[in-house]
Amino acid sequence: MTYLKSTLCVLFFLLIGMLHASALDDIVIADFEGADYGDWKVFGKAFGNAPAKGTLPNQMPVTGFEGEGLVNSFKPDDQAIGRLCSPEFVIERPFITFLIGGGESKKSLCLNLRVNRNIVRTATGTQRNQGGSEALHWGQWDVSDLAGQSATIEIVDQHDGGWGHITVDQIVQTDQPVLVTKKRTLTVNQRYLNLPVKTGAPKKWVRLLHNDKLLREFDIELCAEEPSFWVFLDLEAFRNETLTLTLDKVERGESKDFDAITLSDSLIGGENMYQEKDRPQFHFSSKRGWLNDPNGLVYHKGEYHLFYQHNPYGWHWGNMTWGHAVSKDLVHWNELGDAIHPDELGTIFSGSAIIDAANTTGFKTGEEDPLVCIYTYAGDLTPWSKDQPFTQGLAYSNDRGRTFTVYEGNPVQGNIRGANRDPKVFWHAESEQWVVALYTDQSFIAFLTSPDLKSWELQSELKCFDECPELFSLPVDGDKNNQKWVLYGGKCDYYIGDFDGKKFTPETEVLHLNRGNCFYASQTYNNIPEQDGRRVLIGWGQVEFPGMPFNQMMDFPVVLTLRSTNEGIRMFAEPVEEISNLYAKEHRWMDETLKEDNNPLTELQGDLFDIEAELEVCKAKTIEFLIRGIPVSYDVATQTLTCQGMHAALPADDGRIHLRLLVDRASIEIFGNHGYVYMPMKARFDDKNKTLALSAKDGAAHIQTLALRELNSAWKTAE
């Protein structure tokens, strides 16, 4: 039937071609130049009763449409919703082209083609964040397989947030595509392929091939005209090879964006690397592009490996790839480049890494123990991985993580349920096997076992948390003979309980570690030497950096411990001691009265600090740090710590509290009572305000000790 249908489609267009000696005339479905929408049906309020005449009140200038009228659902503002539906028509040309702009949402803000009431094609604008552009850009659908069928078009606005509108114009049936694919041949005699990115520009698919074998595929907001920044693709692995570069969705006759892609031995715009105005100075951020979940945290031969979710080609989430950096002290990082790339099974979502000292995988080829990464293949998110489910795969390195080989037997674990993902793997010594904690959708965490990481067996499931599971044991109060297991999910809500190698049994209610506003999807390090004994955690610091060539950061590494409290056993978090490697100048105060009008920090200014205070609350009602204008307050009566709307209980101990603040350019990480409270906070500081203050209000308090350490930038001494 598929062959017959395809043949009939070909015959249909051949017949039309025979009837017309020259190119077929375009069929205009709608140009929206009339006084109203004509036969189109209007639902809701978003589209009004007639096409807009360009830009609407309070809207940025709308450009790129043809004539005087267009569909513009910025009516009366982004809160209005509705639909606009065409009359039925017959598909008589192989392409439908259109101009489209506005927000990006494939479900709630889109242009749809329906056949037999089913959505068979869809398109959206490109805008998601503040700023951006109201320009309309060409889009198209190849509808040659739908020839002769009746169809309708609907324009949907069911989105009421920011960029909650859509603009559409000039919907036409045509035999000439408006967007084409461009090709270039590259001889790789320089290391980097530099690509210009303009945030908000239409996305295009770039592909890199070698002898017709697809090597890389990614979408990118490619634009050579006043780019926001440049990104790069490291081609060192392909030096002296001849590669083919292709670019989809290029307007016919236009090639300036494609031609601007440049081979070079340096990064365009890289001369100011790590010194950008808003760059965090002791929190890890990637050289270029988007960053989220930390992945594959593992220690090996003096190096802490940090893999992470990375979009190397844009400021927003997408093109999920494993970025990679290493550090000898958890403070100074050397970015090695992307380690694991999307392929035909999917983009590379989160996972973990281990050192296979016993070579259970059989991956070892030399003297080095294999470093094995275990990750999720997120299928069906790219054309390359179309119709693939979410599965789990392996990649390994025999040179301490400098190069990786993707296991040819992938996937090692098929789909269990839905978007199952984020495998955390560790060696369970008691049962002498690998254990995998895997999120299996619908708030279930599954526990699987494996002798070799290649064959997995499902042992149990627990309905508890969403995403990014973590499972490990810790001694209680430092007693190695009293170990408890901790299970947590993406938000770091956690259980304390028991794990027998197959099943986790909670012994507490759900507890909470993170009390801040920039923490998610954390992971702890595997393989830290027993003599060290630390359980080190890094979380994703959810901080946006508008106007920068990078976006998001990691929270500062912390050490986790289990300690007895009046409420029971709880998990504490404190900064790793290696932060002292950044100490520049220290200021100290001891045994001083603290009042509202005697700020001990009045002479100090800056943006990088480690501040630590032991305070007696005495008769004060409030004790407050003011960090570059942002208050961190302690309410003595309610024993509550507050910063920017986030709150945490902090009981005074014999009338005393301990506070520690790590201050970077975009964050304040707050630790109360030696890690009882962990509150990482994003902070949008006033560039002109570098002042600091500490005061007691409505009564005096007492400074037992106060230490303020000015910090050097980690990047100035990075490898």
CB 124 within 8 A of CB 168: no
Which one is catalytic: 78, 169, 257, 293? 293
For the record, the structure tokens of 245 come out as 């570069």
Beta-carbon contacts of 414 under 8 Å, excluding residues fewer than 6 positions away, are 389, 391
Number of other residues whose CB lies within 10 A of the CB of residue 459:
15
Q: Is 258 helix (H, G, I), strand (E, B) or coil?
A: helix
Q: Is 180 helix (H, G, I), strand (E, B) or coil?
A: strand
Q: Is 362 helix (H, G, I), strand (E, B) or coil?
A: coil
First to last CA, the chain: 61
Residue type, 177: P
Residue type, 430: E
Beta-carbon contacts of 445 under 8 Å, excluding residues fewer than 6 positions away, are 437, 438, 439, 461, 462, 464, 465, 469, 487, 489, 504
CA angle 548, 554, 557 (to 5 degrees): 145
CA angle 238, 239, 245 (to 5 degrees): 55
Q: How far apart are CA 63 and CA 70, in angstroms?
A: 11
Beta-carbon contacts of 262 under 8 Å, excluding residues fewer than 6 positions away, are 193, 194, 268
Residue 319: which of 230, 218, 205 has the closest Cα? 218
Residue 553: which of 254, 339, 291, 371 has the closest Cα? 291
Q: Is 12 helix (H, G, I), strand (E, B) or coil?
A: helix
Number of other residues whose CB lies within 10 A of the CB of residue 502:
16
Q: Is 61 helix (H, G, I), strand (E, B) or coil?
A: coil
Q: How far apart are CA 115 and CA 122, in angstroms?
A: 12
| Residue spans of beta strands (DSSP E) within 595-676 | 609-616, 622-627, 630-635, 640-643, 646-649, 656-664, 667-672
Q: Is 10 helix (H, G, I), strand (E, B) or coil?
A: helix
For the record, the structure tokens of 246 come out as 């292709």
> Which runs of consecutive H residues, i.e. helices, occur in 311-381?
none
For the record, the structure tokens of 385 come out as 């991985």
CA angle 565, 567, 572 (to 5 degrees): 50
Residue type, 660: R
Q: Is 607 a catalytic residue?
A: no
CA angle 495, 307, 385 (to 5 degrees): 95
Q: Is 369 helix (H, G, I), strand (E, B) or coil?
A: coil
Q: Which residues are catalytic?
A: 293
